[in-house]
Amino acid sequence: MYVPAHFAADDEQVRTLLSRIRAADLVTSTPRGMVATYLPLLYEPDAGDHGALLGHVARNNDQWREPAAGESLVIVHGPDAYVTPSWYASKAEHGRVVPTWNYVTAHVYGRLVVHDDTSWLESLVRRLTEHHEADLPHPWSVDDSPPAFFAGQLRAIVGVELRITRIEAKAKLSQNRPRADVEGVVDGYARSGDAVMSEAVRAANPSP
């Protein structure tokens, strides 16, 4: 990943991004070429030296059957949004501005391990479910489904674990713009209803 120094994500930004992960792209190099699957994942920070990403794929998805050549990759997507030059104070000053895109992302590399084990899968599915149901007014539980039905669903999936070896992360949040332009971007996102990006840009550009 191309990461200019002023857009390099620090350790705290990386931890926050991975702890909030919902779904991401798993990319592997196989004998038939590159293969990718978008899947829900959980971050396990205490696994191994660098943590792990845990998920599952459909048993009928051949990606898990094909040995990955070398490292595998998970592409994690954080918040992102368009930036219009109209938000920049520089537009009124000299007009030498162009559109761009703000975003946070991480390329997480590691060794892919397959778990074709119902006990491992049940634990993961319960954790994934609890993670995503936690903020709902009436959380659904795995135990709300008939046991035989749930057991059948587990047989239809296979677990995958990316044991992390290295991470390349980028937080491009207007850090290369003059202060007045940054404030314009913060205000522009806020006025457009994107509070997440507004706060992300503000946090990445603290006041002097």
Total tally of structural domains belonging to the chain? 1
- Using only C-alpha atoms, the chain has a radius of gyration, in whole angstroms, of 20
Note whether residue 184 is domain-resident: no
Note whether residue 194 is domain-resident: no
Q: What is the pLDDT of residues 105-121, one digit of tens each?
A: 999 999 999 999 999 99
Note whether residue 207 is domain-resident: no
Q: Which of 1-15, 38-52, 188-202 has the highest mean pLDDT?
A: 188-202
Q: Which pLDDT value is given to residue 202?
A: 97
Q: What is the pTM of this model?
A: 0.91
Mean pLDDT of 47-53: 90
Tell which residue, 173, 61, 181, has the closest CA to residue 114.
Answer: 61
Query: With bands split at pLDDT 50, 70 and 90, how would you rate the model's confidence at 88?
Result: very high
**Tell me, what CATH number does 146's domain have?**
2.30.110.10
DSSP state of 192: T
Note whether residue 106 is domain-resident: yes
Mean pLDDT of 53-67: 94
Q: What is the pLDDT of residues 137-196, one digit of tens each?
A: 999 999 999 999 999 999 999 999 999 999 999 999 999 999 999 999 999 999 999 999
Note whether residue 139 is domain-resident: yes
Q: Which domain holds residue 58?
A: 5-82+101-176
Distances (CA, A) of 54 to 50, 93, 96, 110: 13, 50, 46, 12
Note whether residue 74 is domain-resident: yes
Per the DSSP assignment, residues forming a β-bridge with 162 are 53, 112
